[in-house]
Structure 1
Amino acid sequence: MTRFDENSIPIEPITENTDSALLRSWKNGDEKAFDMIYTRHFIRLVNLAYKKTGNMEASQELVQDVFLSLYRQLSRLPEQTVLENYLFIATRNRIYNYHRHQLLQLKKEALLRDNYTPSSGASPDRLELKELESLLRDKIQQLPDQCRKVFLLSREEQLSNKEVAERLHISVNTVEQHMRKALRILRASFNDELSLMLLLLLLKHSSF
């Protein structure tokens, strides 16, 4: 007779293939469930990253990193986690970090080409980012009152134009006019294309 090990927990076979069922099976020790999650979402996430980066190798590395992070966080991952949303947000954040790194590297190279040496001990990329963030905050605060409210609701709270209109009790057309005005004013504060690109990233991910 086979001796029963009371410390071992038998792994139930996967009977459902929804993300939530696979997550439960994976948390119960079934590594095949993770493989199924990986196979289901990997190509879609790589395609998403490629559309935003234009670099297939970098996109694959970004998504591999997403799944590595998911694997490491299994024990802390609630069973009610919506994997599709989790993976999308994680991929989006890594795409942002990729672009931020690329832009800062370009800024650093441009500074080095111009033989620019900061007077402080800060590195060129940190100095440039700090200056851009400071300028961005100042210029947003200088926007006309209603224009600033519309802009922050749209960019900081990520509301749609319709949602902003409902929040402020104005028309969608008025929201669009305020957004165009805000962007026109802010863009005028940046005198080169790289700074403008970095500004657009900061607008999405900075809080004020």
Structure 2
Amino acid sequence: MDYTDDNYFLTKRLVKGDEKAYEYLMDTYYQRLCSYAYTLTNDHGKAEDIVQNVFVRVWTKRKKLNPSFLIKNFLYKAVYNEFIDEYRKNKSVLYLEKKYLEAIDIAVENEQDNLEEIIMLVNLEINNLPPKCRRIFLLNKKEGLTHTEIAEHLGISIKTIEAHMTRAFKILEKKLGHKYETIFFLACNPKLR
């Protein structure tokens, strides 16, 4: 079947699970999307990973495809969004690695101050936060939930989550002082205790 001129027909076939339509989609766009992803990543391996993730997602969520949108535009936008998601993940991993190393430095510097006492102090001050503020702080820092996930879980706005997180950090910084900022990483990471 030739899908070249009929975006609507191609998308309808994809929605219905037509594997030939999916093969056509991959044959037509895979290399182009890899080239586009490469311009974003400057890394062939990452570019291919991004495009493969997009195609997997297109297939698994094919029933949500809208035939009135151009599939080509959708694919390019999906590749861009996947790149942004990967960038954010890598950025937050680098941030966490940096915080971990800072926390380890503090731990080494404060070995004589008894690291366990410091962590207990941080945990005590976290427990002294106002109840809703504490819950949101722990969901974010201990459970690793994003602000969006917490908002959905608790049924409140992201702005409310951000306000509680800001309040928690201000209270903790006031109680503990700026020098213990990175020790939050150790205190809030159950794998390290």
TM-score between the two structures when normalised by the length of structure 1: 0.47
Q: Which residue of 2 aligns with 1:79?
A: 67
Kindly provide the amino acid, as one letter, of the partner of residue 90 in structure 1.
A
Instruction: Supply the distance in 2 between the matched residues of 1:63 and 1:19 (Cα, whole angstroms).
Output: 23
Instruction: Supply the distance in 2 between the matched residues of 1:41 and 1:61 (Cα, whole angstroms).
Output: 14
RMSD, aligned CA:
3.3
Query: SS where residue 67 of structure 2 aligns?
Result: coil
Instruction: Supply the distance in 2 between the matched residues of 1:126 and 1:72 (Cα, whole angstroms).
Output: 24
Pairing 1:54–2:54 present: no
Query: SS where residue 66 of structure 2 aligns?
Result: coil
Which runs of 5 or more structure 1 residues have no equivalent in the other structure?
A: 1-13, 128-133, 135-208
Instruction: Supply the distance in 2 between the matched residues of 1:51 and 1:81 (Cα, whole angstroms).
Output: 24
Contact 1:62 1:94 in 2 (8 A): yes
Matches within 5 A, 1:40-51: 40-51=28-39
Matches within 5 A, 1:55-70: 55-70=43-58
Q: Which residue of 2 aligns with 1:102?
A: 90
* CA shift for structure 1 position 18: 2.6
* CA shift for structure 1 position 23: 2.6
More helix by share: 2
Question: Any idea what the Cα deviations from partners look like across 1:143-167, whole Å, max 9, x if unmatched?
Answer: xxxxxxxxxxxxxxxxxxxxxxxxx
Gap change, CA 1:113 and 1:30, over 3 Å in 2: closer
* CA shift for structure 1 position 37: 0.9
Question: Any idea what the Cα deviations from partners look like across 1:24-54, whole Å, max 9, x if unmatched?
Answer: 4444554222111111111111112122122
Q: Percent identity?
A: 21
Question: Any idea what the Cα deviations from partners look like across 1:74-130, whole Å, max 9, x if unmatched?
Answer: 22222222101111111111100111111111111111222268945526x989xxx
* CA shift for structure 1 position 16: 4.2
Kindly provide the amino acid, as one letter, of the partner of residue 39 in structure 1.
D
Instruction: Supply the distance in 1 between the matched residues of 2:145 and 2:65 (Cα, whole angstroms).
Output: 33
Instruction: Supply the distance in 2 between the matched residues of 1:30 and 1:53 (Cα, whole angstroms).
Output: 32
Instruction: Supply the distance in 2 between the matched residues of 1:22 and 1:86 (Cα, whole angstroms).
Output: 13
* CA shift for structure 1 position 66: 0.6
Kindly provide the amino acid, as one letter, of the partner of residue 40 in structure 2.
K
Instruction: Supply the distance in 1 between the matched residues of 2:17 and 2:90 (Cα, whole angstroms).
Output: 39
Instruction: Supply the distance in 2 between the matched residues of 1:39 and 1:16 (Cα, whole angstroms).
Output: 12
